[in-house]
Amino acid sequence: MHDSMRSAIAPKELSHIPAMGGRVSTPAYSIIIPAYNAQATLGDCLKALQTQSTPRGEYEVIVVDDGSTDATAEVARSFDTRLLCQDNTGPAAARNHGARVARGSILLFTDADCVPAYDWLERISEPLRDPEVTGAKGIYRTRQRVAVARFVQLEYEDRYARMSRRERIDFVDTYSAAYRRETFLANGGFDTTFPTASVEDQELSFRLARKGYWLVFAPQAVVYHHHDATVGEYWRRKFAIGYWKALLLRWHPGRAVTDSHTPQVLKVQIGLAGLLGLLLPLTLFWSFARYAALIVAGIFCCTAVRFLARVLRRDPAIAVIVPLLLVLRSLALGSGLVTGTLSFAGQPSPHPPPISLWDRIGKRTMDIVGSLLGLALTSPLLAVLALAVRLDSPGPICSSSQRIGRNGHLFTMHCLRTTARGREPAQPGPTDPNSLPSRTSRAETGSDANYIGRFLRRTGLDALPQLWNVLVGEMSLVGPVPEEGDVAQRYDDWHRQRLAIRPGMTGPSQVSERGALGLDERVRMELDYIEHYSLWRDMCILFRAVATALSGRSAP
């Protein structure tokens, strides 16, 4: 992990992971496998887990029989495993059951129809040796040679190529996954609203990523899988994913825009396939519809060029069926999404988005308009202040620092320099997070500030360059304090809820009349702001912040 990222949020728990090769009395890892009528495949999975490169004493294998009616339990008993039995309530509940009784500090997940590679455990747990990492995702491979399965494998490889370019991800599938047990349990595990294997694993990773937990891609952690072998199997699986995805997106609407796994072109293809499906019946009556359908089909083909090029490089023998399967995929996902949207309309969410979709749109619109207007109006003042900073003491005009943004992502925050050294002095690292100094208290004392710096801090004008951070989407005009890494590293799980939205140039704690606040009190105030968010409240906070700046006195 890059040194520049070391100030990012580290998980509160720093569970020790022993070096490979040493035996321990208590296992460091717990491998959890939900199984329902898995008699045909479970044996191969468990056989692979008995002969891992990791010494057997360092891990336990837990099979959760989810109310099977075949010999699944007997297969599990024939191996060195812990067998748990429950009524048939779905894989999410089964995994949660296994996690509650697990003895390892690291939970590893795979499925009963997967065969882990010899070094799978070593590879999937390796990223969690870094205490900053909370979860990891591995990959699928297949030994099948039927055309549909080969297409499915290339689909996955396309997603993996996308994820491999990212330092952190927000999408973890449980066919090859690892989580810190303490974080997993603190966040309630998988949501059992999903009764079948669908998108329950995506939902948990979205929830954790929203709190800023660090999830990574581990492409060396391989499990072999039996993919869909027929067109019918493929259609049913994609339809089910679309159906349950409709519910998931009600809880995490931002993931409809982007996530680290789903190619953006797929969303375009779903829309084009749906439009083509509407146009085709009309071609029987209107010649215009025929031309429109040809244009839409042509655009669809253009969107498939990049994937088709990958297929031609990797497996050219199936290239002829790729366009048809891409259309089938889009229609199945789209029809599942539509059906699910209608089915789940009005259903309350156990994990509602921190701010509603329309409020998010309104807030971002206000940020764009406000930052553009602010940059235009304050440009002359900013030029004067920049000259004053340069004349007051040697050094750069602006100082920059790494801060924790939305979902825990780092960004560079800009301020007018207020010290002779061009940077804030190093702050001591108190063990009690509530004794960390607030920005306001440092502005009040100003012992490290130069002459112009004391004025800038007192009025808050040193923050004017942050209008650029707002414009590019790293900050908001109003929001939680843009936190430094030394503070964020001391977060408990509940503190992390504040990371669900962009930090602000000003916010409820900055305009508070309670003086300097400890971390807990400030975070409670920020969470109340998020829970009761309104654009009107944003405008009131902005008005108070601007009034404070114009009055020439620091915020209380």
pLDDT digits (tens, 9 = 90+) for 103-150: 999 999 999 999 999 999 999 999 999 999 999 999 999 999 999 999
Question: Mean of the per-residue pLDDT values for the chain?
Answer: 87
What is the b/e burial string over 418-434, where b = at least 16 CB atoms within 10 angstroms of the residue's CB?
Answer: bbeebebeeeeeeeebe
Single residue among 320, 350, 380 that ends a domain in this structure: 350
Choose the final residue of a domain: 197, 226, 255.
226
Say how many C-beta atoms besides its own lie within 10 A of residue 387's C-beta: 12
Report which residue type is found at 312. Answer: L
Specify whether 363 is located in the same domain as 440: yes
Residue 325 domain-assigned (yes or no): yes
Residues 380 and 272 placed together within one structural domain of the fold = no
> Do 280 and 378 sit in the same domain of this protein?
no
* Residue percentage of the chain with pLDDT more than 90: 64
Cβ 194 vs Cβ 90: under 8 Å = yes
Q: Are residues 343 and 362 in the same domain?
A: no
Confirm whether 156 is domain-assigned.
no
Task: Say yes or no: 23 and 103 in one domain.
Answer: yes
Is residue 149 situated within a structural domain? no
Q: Is the pLDDT of residue 236 over 60?
A: yes
Q: Are residues 363 and 344 in the same domain?
A: no
What's the mean pLDDT in 10-20? Answer: 38
Burial of 96 (0-12, 13-18, 19+ CB in 10 A): buried
pLDDT in the model for residue 254: 87
Determine, yes or no, domain membership for 155.
no
3-state secondary structure labels for all residues of 370-430:
HHHHHHHHHHHHHHHHHHHHHHHCCCCCEEEEEEECHHHCEEEEEEECCECCCCCCCCCCC
Residues 245 and 221 in one domain: no
Is the model's pLDDT at 434 over the cut of 90? Answer: no
pLDDT at site 449: 63
Q: Which two tokens stand for residue 133?
A: 């990492």
pLDDT band at 22 (very low <50, low <70, confident <90, very high): very low
Q: Is the pLDDT of residue 411 over 80?
A: yes
Residues 414, 510, single domain; the answer is yes
- Range(s) of the domain holding residue 528: 357-551
Q: Does one domain contain both 222 and 237?
A: no
Give every CB contact of residue 107 below 8 A, 6+ residues apart in sequence.
Answer: 29, 30, 32, 98, 99, 178, 179, 180, 181, 184
Q: What are phi and psi of 483, to 5 degrees?
A: -80, 145
In a domain, 84, yes or no: yes
Q: Give the total number of structural domains in the chain.
A: 3
Residue finishing a domain among 317, 350, 383: 350
* 470-527 pLDDT, tens digit each: 999 999 999 998 988 777 778 899 999 999 999 999 998 888 765 567 888 889 999 9
In a domain, 464, yes or no: yes
> Would the pLDDT of 448 be above 80?
no
pLDDT > 70? residue 81 = yes
Q: Where does the pLDDT of residue 69 fall: very low under 50, low under 70, confident under 90, or very high at 90 and above?
A: very high
Q: How far is CA 302 from the centre of its chain?
A: 30
Residue 24 and residue 3 share a domain: yes
Within the chain, how many helices (H) and strands (E) appear?
19, 12
Asked if the model's pLDDT at residue 387 lies above 50, the reply is yes
Instruction: Note the Cα 555 to chain centre separation in Å.
Output: 34
Which CATH number fits the domain that encloses residue 107? 3.90.550.10
373 with 490, same domain? yes
- Do residues 287 and 409 both lie within one domain? no
Alpha-carbon span 519 to 499, nearest angstrom: 14
Whether 150 is in a domain gets the answer no
Structural domain includes residue 152: no
Q: According to the model, what pLDDT value does residue 8 have?
A: 40
Cα diameter, the chain: 82
Q: Which of 293-297, 406-410, 528-532 has the lowest mean pLDDT?
A: 406-410
pLDDT at 422 over 60: no
**Structure confidence at residue 281 (pLDDT):** 87
